[in-house]
Amino acid sequence: MSNLAVAASVAPAVETLSVPVPRTSAVVEVWTEFALALGIGVRQINEILRKGLENFLLESASMLFLNGRGEVVFTLKMVMDWQKHKTMSEFEHNLDLCPQQPFTEQLHSNFQRLLVYLRGSKAAQGIARTELHVRFRQEIYDNPELLERARAFLNLAPVAPIKYAPGVRQPDMTFRFAPIPETTFVVREIWPTT
Q: What pLDDT shows up at residue 20? A: 93
Confidence of residue 5 (pLDDT cuts 50, 70, 90): very low
- CATH number among 3.40.50, 1.10.3470, 3.30.70, 3.30.900, domain 18-191: 3.30.900
pLDDT digits (tens, 9 = 90+) for 138-162: 999 999 999 999 999 999 998 889 9
d(C-alpha 120, C-alpha 99), whole Å? 27
d(C-alpha 38, C-alpha 58), whole Å? 19
How large a percentage of the chain has pLDDT more than 70? Answer: 92
The overall average pLDDT reported for the chain is 91
Q: Can you point out the beta strands (E) in the chain?
A: 19-22, 58-66, 72-80, 94-97, 129-136, 168-169, 173-175, 183-191
Flag whether pLDDT at 53 surpasses 50. yes
Q: What pLDDT shows up at residue 128? A: 96
pLDDT digits (tens, 9 = 90+) for 78-99: 999 999 999 999 999 999 999 9
Q: What pLDDT shows up at residue 194? A: 66
Confidence of residue 17 (pLDDT cuts 50, 70, 90): confident
User: Can you give the C-alpha Rg of the chain in angstroms?
Assistant: 20
Flag whether pLDDT at 36 surpasses 50. yes
Distance of CA 43 to the CA centre of its chain: 14
- How confident is the model over 18-22, as a mean pLDDT? 92
Q: What pLDDT shows up at residue 13? A: 59
Question: Looking at the DSSP assignment, which residues form a beta bridge with residue 184?
Answer: 79
Sign of the Cα pseudo-torsion (190, 31, 55, 49, in order): negative
Flag whether pLDDT at 16 surpasses 80. no
- How confident is the model over 105-125, as a mean pLDDT? 94
Q: What pLDDT shows up at residue 193? A: 81
Flag whether pLDDT at 8 surpasses 50. no
Q: What pLDDT shows up at residue 192? A: 85
d(C-alpha 183, C-alpha 181), whole Å? 5
Q: At what angle do helices 82-91 and 23-37 cross, to 10 degrees?
A: 130
Flag whether pLDDT at 21 surpasses 70. yes
- How confident is the model over 58-73, as a mean pLDDT? 97
**Domain spans of the chain?**
18-191
Q: What pLDDT shows up at residue 171? A: 96
